[in-house]
Amino acid sequence: MKKTFVLGALTVAGLAAGAAQAATVDDVKARGKLNCGVSTGLVGFAAPDANGNWGGFDVEMCRAVAAAVLGDSNAVEFVPTTGKTRFTALASGEVDLLARNTTWTFSRDVDLKFTFVGVNYYDGQGFMVPAELGVSSAKDLDGATVCIQTGTTTELNLADFFRVNGISYEPVPIETNAEAQQQYLAGACDVYTTDASGLAATRATFENPGEHVVLPEIISKEPLGPLVRHGDDNWGDIVRWTLNALITAEELGVTSANVAEMSGGTNNPEINRMLGTEGNLGEQLGLEADWAMKVISAVGNYGESFEKNIGENTPIGLARGLNALWTEGGLIYTPPFR
Partner 1 sequence: MPTDTSNVAFVRTETLPEKAPPASETGIVKWLRENLFAGWANSLLTLLAIWAIYIILSSILPWLFGGLWTTSSLSECREILQGRVGGCFSVLTERWNQLLYGFKYPNDQYWRPNLALVLLFFAAAPVLFFDLPRKLLIFTGLYPFLAFWLIWGGAIAVPIVALLGVVAGYVVFDRLGKQTFAGGFFGGIAAAILVWVLGMALIPETASENALLESVPSRDLGGFMLNLMLGVTCVSLSLPIGIALALGRQSNMPLIKWICVVFIEFIRGVPLITLLFVASVMLSYFFPPESTVDLFLRVVIMITVFSAAYIAEVIRGGLAALPKGQYEAADSLGLDYPQAMQLIILPQALKISIPGIVNVAVGLFKDTTLVSVISMFDLVGMIRGPILASTEWNGVYWELLGFAAALFFVVCYGISQYSQWLERRLATDHR
- Interaction site with partner 1 (CB under 8 A): 39-44, 46-52, 79-82, 84-85, 88-89, 91-94, 176, 178, 181-182, 201-202, 204-207, 314-316
Smallest separation (angstroms) from partner 1 to the CB of 274 = 32
- The CA distance from 67 to 294, in Å, is 6
Closest CB to partner 1 among 31 and 163? 31
Length of the chain as a residue count:
338
Smallest separation (angstroms) from partner 1 to the CB of 102 = 15
Closest CB to partner 1 among 185 and 289? 185
Q: In Å, how far are 59, 147, 215 from 154, measured between CA atoms? A: 24, 11, 16
Closest CB to partner 1 among 66 and 135? 66
Smallest separation (angstroms) from partner 1 to the CB of 187 = 16
Closest CB to partner 1 among 4 and 313? 313
φ/ψ of 35, rounded to 5, equals -90, 115
Smallest separation (angstroms) from partner 1 to the CB of 200 = 12
Closest CB to partner 1 among 168 and 182? 182
**What is the identity of the amino acid at 176?**
T
Which of 181, 88, 80, 173 is closest to 128 using CA atoms? Answer: 181
Smallest separation (angstroms) from partner 1 to the CB of 325 = 25
- The CA distance from 164 to 175, in Å, is 26
- The CA distance from 166 to 87, in Å, is 36
- The CA distance from 61 to 36, in Å, is 9
